């Protein structure tokens, strides 16, 4: 399934209709299908605020597993050279730091301590517009 999606998505392409369709798959009951959707979303244009909005909608209105999947998709949108978008994305993730579900909170911590920690840590130390509730 993932390979088929990759054929439809050119790296760096902006295709809001297709990204919205893939975002709906984050609510699929099958974890493997959700993982494919997360990986597919990372193939679209980086720093796309419309895709970010779609993920925010899923994080606000989706069931727990969809919220976790939407959070896992966030790093795939990032371009380390676009610090304002990076901050906007992290602030979006931090909006859910008090989520009642531990898996949602754990995912946010993993974003901040995982592959992107080399950029997240300096931003946290300096402030730089990040707003952490907890």
pLDDT at position 114 over 80: no
Tens of pLDDT, residues 115-127: 666 666 666 665 5
Tens of pLDDT, residues 14-61: 888 888 999 999 999 999 999 989 998 988 888 899 999 999 999 999
Global model pTM greater than 0.95? no
**Radius of gyration (C-alpha) of the chain in whole angstroms:** 14
Other Cβ atoms within 10 Å of 127 Cβ, number? 9
The region of weakest confidence among 2-11, 32-41, 46-55, 88-97 is: 2-11
Question: Considering only CA atoms, which of 92, 81, 82 is closest in space to residue 54?
Answer: 92
Question: Considering only CA atoms, which of 33, 9, 120 is closest in space to residue 74?
Answer: 120
């Amino acid at each position: 399934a993932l390979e088929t999606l990759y054929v439809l998505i050119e790296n760096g392409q902006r295709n809001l209709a297709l990204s919205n369709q893939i975002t709906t798959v984050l609510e699929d009951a099958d974890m493997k299908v959700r993982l494919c959707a997360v990986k597919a979303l990372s193939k679209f244009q980086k720093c796309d605020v419309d895709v970010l909005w779609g993920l925010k909608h899923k994080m606000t209105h989706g069931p727990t597993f969809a919220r976790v999947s939407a959070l896992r998709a966030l790093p795939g949108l990032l371009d380390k050279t676009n610090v304002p978008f990076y901050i906007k994305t992290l602030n979006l993730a931090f909006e859910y730091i008090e989520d009642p579900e531990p898996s949602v909170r754990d995912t946010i911590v993993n974003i901040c301590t995982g592959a992107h920690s080399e950029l997240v840590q300096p931003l946290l130390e300096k402030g730089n517009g990040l707003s952490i509730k907890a």
